[in-house]
C-alpha cells in the first residue's frame, strides 16, 4: 500500500507540478483506501474520483493535492472545509494545520467520516452536520476555507468568515467550474482562477 501511494504521488501529483514537500508527505502518509468503503485497495490509488455513496465522490488525488498546496498551510492555521464526504481531504489538511472544522450536509456521510477520522487518529478534525452555505460562525474567523463541492457563486457568508490574510480555495460555477483562489487582505478580496474542474454541486439545505 505504501508503494501504491508512492507511485500515486510521483506519477499523478509531482509529475503535474505539485511540489510542496509537506503536501507530498501528507499525501504519502494518509491511507486513502481506508476512506473509500468497499473498494478494491489498488483502485483507491488510481487517477480519478471515486464514489463514496449517497451520490457523492472523493476527489481525484491530484486535485486534493493541488487544492491543499493552494491553501499554503504552515501548521498554525484554523481551517474550515465544506463537504466532509469521506473525510480524506480533512485528514490531509489536519496533518498540515492546527485545527480542521469540516461541515457535511448528508448526515450518514458526516457520521461515518467522524467515526473513521477518530478511529484512524485524526483528532484535530471536528465534523459537523449542517449546511456549508452558512459556514461555522461560532468558530470563525478561519485562516483557510476550502470547498469541495461547487456553489454557483462563492457565498459571501464564507468570505465574511475568512480572517484577514486568509485564503479560500474552491470550485465555483454550475456546469463549467473554475477552481478559484481568493485572498482577503485589509478588507479587499482578490480572486484568481487556477484551472477548470468538475465537482459535485454544493446543495442548499432548508
Ligand atoms: N472532501 C471530500 C469529498 C467531498 S464530495 C472527501 O475528501 O471525501 C462533496 C461533499 O460535499 C459531499 O459529501 C456532499 O454531500 C457535500 N455537500 C454538498 N453540499 C453541501 C453543503 N451545502 N454543505 C455541506 N456539505 C455539502
For residue 93, tell me if it sits in a domain.
Answer: yes
CA of 148 to the centre of ligand 1 (A): 6
Domain span at residue 25? 2-197
What are the φ and ψ backbone dihedral angles of 122, each rounded to 5 degrees? -85, 75
In the residue annotation, 19 being an active-site residue is answered as no
Determine which one of 43, 59, 102, 150 is catalytic. 59
Cis peptide before 141 (omega within 30 of 0): yes
Tell me the whole-structure pTM to 2 decimals: 0.97
CATH number of the domain within which 62 lies? 3.40.50.150
For residue 203, tell me if it sits in a domain.
Answer: no
Domain count, the chain: 1
In a mutational test of the pocket of ligand 1, which residue from 81, 84, 94, 174 has the highest number of ligand atoms less than 8 Å from its CB? Answer: 84
The finding on whether 59 has its CB within 6 A of some atom of ligand 1 is: yes
Taking only the tens place, the pLDDT of each residue in 23-45 is 999 999 999 999 998 888 889 99
Q: Which three cell numbers stand for residue 17?
A: 507540478
Taking only the tens place, the pLDDT of each residue in 103-158 is 999 999 999 999 999 999 999 999 999 999 999 999 999 999 999 999 999 999 99
Rounded-to-integer distance, Cα 75 and Cα 34, Å = 24
What are the φ and ψ backbone dihedral angles of 22, each rounded to 5 degrees? -65, -40
Ligand 1: nearest atom to the Cα of 88: 7
For residue 34, tell me if it sits in a domain.
Answer: yes
Amino acid at each position: 500500500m505504501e508503494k501504491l501511494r508512492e507511485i500515486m504521488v510521483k506519477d499523478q501529483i509531482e509529475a503535474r507540478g505539485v511540489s510542496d514537500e509537506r503536501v507530498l508527505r501528507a499525501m504519502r502518509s494518509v491511507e486513502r483506501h481506508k476512506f473509500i468503503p468497499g473498494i478494491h485497495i489498488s483502485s483507491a490509488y488510481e487517477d480519478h474520483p471515486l464514489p463514496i455513496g449517497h451520490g457523492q465522490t472523493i476527489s481525484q488525488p491530484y486535485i486534493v493535492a493541488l487544492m491543499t498546496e493552494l491553501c499554503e498551510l504552515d501548521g498554525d492555521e484554523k481551517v474550515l472545509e465544506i463537504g466532509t464526504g469521506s473525510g480524506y481531504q480533512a485528514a490531509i489538511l489536519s496533518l498540515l494545520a492546527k485545527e480542521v472544522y469540516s461541515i457535511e450536509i448528508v448526515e450518514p456521510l458526516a457520521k461515518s467520516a467522524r467515526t473513521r477520522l477518530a478511529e484512524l487518529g485524526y483528532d484535530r478534525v471536528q465534523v459537523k452536520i449542517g449546511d456549508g452555505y452558512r459556514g461555522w460562525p461560532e468558530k470563525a474567523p478561519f485562516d483557510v476555507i476550502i470547498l469541495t463541492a461547487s456553489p454557483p457563486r462563492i457565498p459571501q457568508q464564507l468570505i465574511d468568515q475568512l480572517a484577514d490574510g486568509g485564503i479560500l480555495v474552491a470550485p465555483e460555477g454550475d456546469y463549467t467550474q473554475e477552481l478559484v483562489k481568493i485572498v482577503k487582505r485589509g478588507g479587499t478580496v482578490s480572486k484568481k482562477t487556477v484551472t477548470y474542474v468538475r465537482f459535485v454541486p454544493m446543495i442548499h439545505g432548508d
